Chain A
Amino acid sequence: DTGVSQNPRHKITKRGQNVTFRCDPISEHNRLYWYRQTLGQGPEFLTYFQNEAQLEKSRLLSDRFSAERPKGSFSTLEIQRTEQGDSAMYLCASSLARDSLGSDTQYFGPGTRLTVL
């Protein structure tokens, strides 16, 4: 168990470019979450997967954002036509949901810091 990993750790891009981030969860964790954290704020939920199914998307996730978890293992988050307002830390978390109560502990990766110039 090596924890949740995210790549890249830092990404600097120009406005209008597309970027893709990757998250590798703890092995055998069936849930994977994406959050966004801006400076001085707490993380905000973006979306989550149960295995390969994307079950909920926040209204924060505009049409320019897309997330996948094709085989129920790693996940990617793509942002198309980046804007300066997309600059933030993107956090990934995974958990093992054992029941339907939703109280499982989420383990977070180190995040990907995106800067849009």
Chain B
Amino acid sequence: AQSVTQLGSHVSVSEGALVLLRCNYSSSVPPYLFWYVQYPNQGLQLLLKYTSAATLVKGINGFEAEFKKSETSFHLTKPSAHMSDAAEYFCAVIPAPSNTGKLIFGQGTTLQVKP
């Protein structure tokens, strides 16, 4: 069965530092890949998605992610962290091919940004 692994349940960075959140998927066929962000007591907001076009995907709020088939990874990065980036981040996949669109989520990574 398809699965998603997010390495590190908590990541702490200083304001202005590089943000790197890791995501690996298990599949022999590259799936559709997503990163969502969740602020406290809110729903999930899409940051970016990969659907077999360019391997480097740019999203909102300065985030980007690179799809690496050889590593089965889709890590999320941001060059300079802001205090407002503190939230929980979820990597998710839709196994391809799929006609249901149901998302399979990782367990999430809580990002803490220190002043």
Contact = CB atoms under 8 A, between A and B. Distances in A.
The majority secondary structure among interface residues of chain B is loop
A45 B96 CA distance: 16
B39 to A, nearest CB: 10
Nearest to A3: B43
B65 to A, nearest CB: 15
Contact of B101 (A35, A97, A107): A97
A28 to B, nearest CB: 16
Interface of A: 4, 6, 31, 33, 35, 40-45, 48, 55-56, 91, 93, 95, 97, 100-111, 113
Given A42-B106, A101-B99, A108-B43, 14 more contacts: A40-B107, A40-B108, A41-B107, A42-B4, A43-B44, A45-B102, A45-B104, A56-B102, A100-B99, A101-B51, A101-B97, A102-B100, A105-B46, A108-B45
5 smallest CB-CB distances across A and B, nearest first, come from: A42-B105, A102-B98, A108-B43, A102-B101, A108-B44
20 contacts: A6-B43, A41-B108, A42-B90, A42-B105, A43-B44, A43-B105, A48-B102, A55-B100, A56-B102, A101-B51, A101-B96, A102-B94, A102-B98, A102-B101, A103-B49, A104-B101, A107-B46, A108-B44, A108-B45, A113-B41
